[in-house]
Amino acid sequence: MKPTLFVLAAGMGSRYGGLKQLDGLGPNGETIMDYSIFDAIRGGFGKLVFVVRKSFENDFRIKIISKYENHIPVELVFQELDNLPAGFTVPEGREKPWGTNHAVLMGKDVIHEPFAVINADDFYGRDSFAVLGKQLAGMEGKQNDYCMIGYRVGNTLSESGSVARGVCETNTENYLTGVVERTAIERINDQIQFTDENGKTVVLDDYTPVSMNMWGFTPDYFTYSEDYFAKFLQENRTNLKSEYFIPLMVNELITKGRVNVKVLDTTSKWFGITYAKDRQGVVDKIKALVDAGEYPDKLF
């Protein structure tokens, strides 16, 4: 059975001011997501699952899903504030979505095979999907053995300002021992650096792995996520801004010694629109990849 690509797209409508402005960045108006899906298909993925908000289901079906339907099977699931475990209700005043790992939980009824999780609006690159597709193909029937793509931090910076990244700590066998969110990472005088919680400047090697939210799981991850979400809700019932993130869940499982997460290296360069002025750079980078023959002029 081929692995599934699970695309987190529930934040899309709010961030882009509606799907109508889903940004066309490729030569024929392709979105960043189009490139991810094209790369996933050639990387051996056999199904697409999108998580969106119910309010833009129709728009999404017409504008997005119709493009892919003849190329790969597609499923749609929904992330809503009231998708909570039995016995829990939405706290009064809560408007913020519950975060990326809550979005992942929405796939539990339609995903029964190894699966990758990605953000809809990040450009991950061909090699990363090839590496992850190959790893997931070998995870069929396994449990507690997960993986993630560890981008080299030097391949994920923005020319327009500093970035926040999940800096990965690994052991000698390249298994993840922790992910620490670091903010204000940038290249200064040819050195990649950030300031830690003690005000100290820390320099990162260009090859330091960072998480760009590109994960590989098997379906047992849903059971862990459901159990831990109940605990998370109990602990955060008064915090209306708290979010249940994937690294939070992964860190919990690693710390408890329940799972192994292999960090996979990729030569892919990540890019995305962190700042408005990044947009033209992304258009130029995609054009360069098309010109170099990495992608056809028209994807779908």
Per-residue pLDDT 10s for the chain (300 aa) are 899 999 999 876 565 555 655 788 999 999 999 999 999 999 999 999 999 989 889 988 988 899 998 999 999 999 988 888 888 888 888 887 888 999 999 999 999 999 999 999 899 999 999 999 999 999 999 999 999 999 999 999 988 889 999 999 999 999 999 998 898 999 999 999 999 889 999 999 999 999 999 999 999 999 999 999 999 888 887 888 888 999 999 999 999 999 999 999 999 999 988 777 888 999 999 999 999 999 999 999
Query: Tokens 């109990």 appear where?
Result: 234
H or E segment at 187?
strand 176-188
The whole-number pLDDT of residue 144 equals 97
Task: Report how far residue 283's alpha carbon sits from residue 287's, in angstroms, rounded to the nearest whole number.
Answer: 6
The whole-number pLDDT of residue 87 equals 86
Whole-angstrom Cα Rg for the chain: 19
Task: Report how far residue 156's alpha carbon sits from residue 53's, in angstroms, rounded to the nearest whole number.
Answer: 28
The whole-number pLDDT of residue 17 equals 57
Q: 91 is written with which tokens? A: 């706290």
Domains delineated in the chain: 4-143+213-257+274-291 (3.90.550.10)
H or E segment at 33?
helix 32-42
Task: Report how far residue 228's alpha carbon sits from residue 193's, in angstroms, rounded to the nearest whole number.
Answer: 34
Answer for the pair 30, 299: CB distance below 8 angstroms, yes or no. yes
| CA distances from residue 184 to 6, 192, 219 in whole angstroms, order as listed | 29, 10, 34
The whole-number pLDDT of residue 13 equals 59
pTM: 0.93
Task: Report how far residue 3's alpha carbon sits from residue 143's, in angstroms, rounded to the nearest whole number.
Answer: 15
The whole-number pLDDT of residue 15 equals 57
